[in-house]
Amino acid sequence: MPDVEMKPAEAKPSTEKSAAEQKPAPVPVSPLVEIKSNVALIDRAVSTLEPRFIHRVLRTLTALRKRLDDSVLRNAIDAIYPKDNAVKTTLLGWLPSAPAAAADHSMDVDLSAKPATAEVTPEAEMYLRLLILQHLLLEEETQEKALELANETVEKMQSLNRRSMDAIAAKIWFAVDRAYDLAGEISDARPLFLAAQRTASLRHDDEAQAALINCLLRSYISYNLYDQADKLVSKTTFPASASNAQFARYHYYLGRIRAVQLNYTEAHTNLQQAIRRAPPAKTAPGFYQAVHKYFVVVELLMGDIPDRTLFRHPVLEKALNAYFDIVKAVRTGSLAQFQTTLAKHAAQFEEDNTYTLIIRLRQNVIKTGIRRLSLSYSRISLRDICVKLHLDSEEDAEYIVGKAIRDGVIEGRIVHEKGWMECGTQKSGYGPEVSEVFGRRIAFCLDLHNQSVKAMRYPLNAHRKELAAAEGAREREKELAKEIQDGDLDDEDLGGDF
């Protein structure tokens, strides 16, 4: 049989695929439309008693506030509230007046799309106040007005006392804390936050309580009041239902408190939890860098050396440059290099509030040097230790080596008569410490699984459809069994498998 030449297939599918790939990208929603849809979602959440709609609105807050300006906020308020509304007049009073031509044009556009009667909930008003407050905090000229708006918003929010406003209230408290911080009056806001925290605790308002605890911890730490911050932590219980962002801030502040209290193990654990719960590095680079600065210092204070890949992270590479020099000094165990690096970057360490912790690393530098010497020599004289570590005298070297042996940094003993140190064998990498770390990791995974199961949502009355389907199946089985018993069905009706 002769071979038949095959013709090339037409490339229609690839053409259709390329046409599909060339579809224009969706046009982003304008800020005005997004604000109006968010207000509609808030009204829906209040009417249906479903707080998840408010949480959906608040998730867009970070991206939305970057696109806001005076005209967008004015147009949104005009579109949401009817004409001659008292709340509308109050909100517009916090914004600069629009030019005459722009005001007339926006009035023509908005009145055509505005409903005749619109009942706006107080939660929507608080949401608009939050947007205005965050917008005023961006400019230095309007920060004083932002503080006035913050105080007025807090008074009105506390007078309303609505549980459907809890999620928005947590965001408002954070903005209020920011307004007082920029005004340099963060200590004056402390009584207000303490009273609000007690009220939120009595009302079981977990979201506002978490935000207020973080605001208070930030206020105490900024004034170096670590004892008061520790008392606040011991007297309060952080809500387990708080968001990951609030948990990240709480663990960060707790890590700083424990680091100052010389409890480096708990500080390392809390800072690690803050890193895990924090938003992605590109979303919140400032918080990501601040946590890692303390994380690196605490790891050095614990006697560990941070991973080198940490300093190559694109978000952390420039911010941790000074800390990388400190790590190299501690790793080599050279006191001269450590003092030079500390003097070089002292201004940055003081700005980051890590200078006092880094000063404590002097003993760690000496311990690291002794550890390196114990691994390199089976026996070394105290005079050689004094020369290699740049210590003042052999008595200091003997005291430091004895303390390192007592603390378990190295294994060995000092022969005082002959003036040397005999080094022991290196510790094994296995033991009860490994099982404890493994147990903590398993507990974390189980806790994460339980939280995920609790966060699952199911549609209402979905089980009734399953019950109806199961009831129908049982009825069909009964009818089929009755027909078989009566002899109405034969083998052909049952099918070939029977």
- Looking at every residue in the chain, the average pLDDT score rounds to 80
Transcribe 25-54 into DSSP letters: PPPPPPHHHHHHHHHHHHHHHHHHT-THHH
Exposure string of 244-282, with b = 16+ CB inside 10 Å and e = fewer, is: ebbbbbbbbbbbbbbbbeeebeebbbbbbbbbebbeebe
CA distances from 448 to 30, 246, 254, 452 (A): 37, 17, 21, 6
CA distances from 462 to 212, 452, 456, 459, 465 (A): 39, 21, 14, 6, 6
List CB contacts of 380: < 8 A, sequence separation 6 or more. 373, 420, 421, 423
List CB contacts of 122: < 8 A, sequence separation 6 or more. 160, 162, 165
* Parts of the chain with a pLDDT under 70: 1-28, 98-118, 390, 392, 407-409, 424-433, 459-463, 487-498
Largest CA distance in the chain: 109
Contact 53/42 with Cβ under 8 angstroms? yes
Task: State pTM to two decimals.
Answer: 0.71
pLDDT tens for each residue of 66-106? 888 888 888 888 888 888 788 888 888 888 776 654 444 44
Find, among 184, 131, 170, 327, the residue nearest to 249 by Cα: 170
Cα distance between residue 8 and residue 16, in whole Å: 18
Residue 437 sits at the vertex; the CA angle it makes with 411 and 258, to the nearest 5 degrees, is 85
pLDDT value, residue 87: 84
Query: Collapsing DSSP states into helix, strand and coil, what is residue 417?
Result: coil
Cα distance between residue 176 and residue 95, in whole Å: 18
pLDDT value, residue 253: 95
Which element (helix H / strand E) includes 86?
Answer: helix 86-93
Cα distance between residue 463 and residue 461, in whole Å: 5
Which element (helix H / strand E) includes 236?
Answer: none
Kindly report the backbone phi and psi dihedral angles of residue 48, in degrees, each rounded to the nearest multiple of 5, phi listed first: -95, -5
Cα distance between residue 13 and residue 176, in whole Å: 58
List CB contacts of 324: < 8 A, sequence separation 6 or more. 311
Kindly report the backbone phi and psi dihedral angles of residue 414, in degrees, each rounded to the nearest multiple of 5, phi listed first: -100, 125
Tell me the CA end-to-end span of the chain in Å, nearest whole number: 47
Cα distance between residue 323 and residue 343, in whole Å: 13
pLDDT value, residue 27: 61
CB atoms within 10 A of CB 50: 14
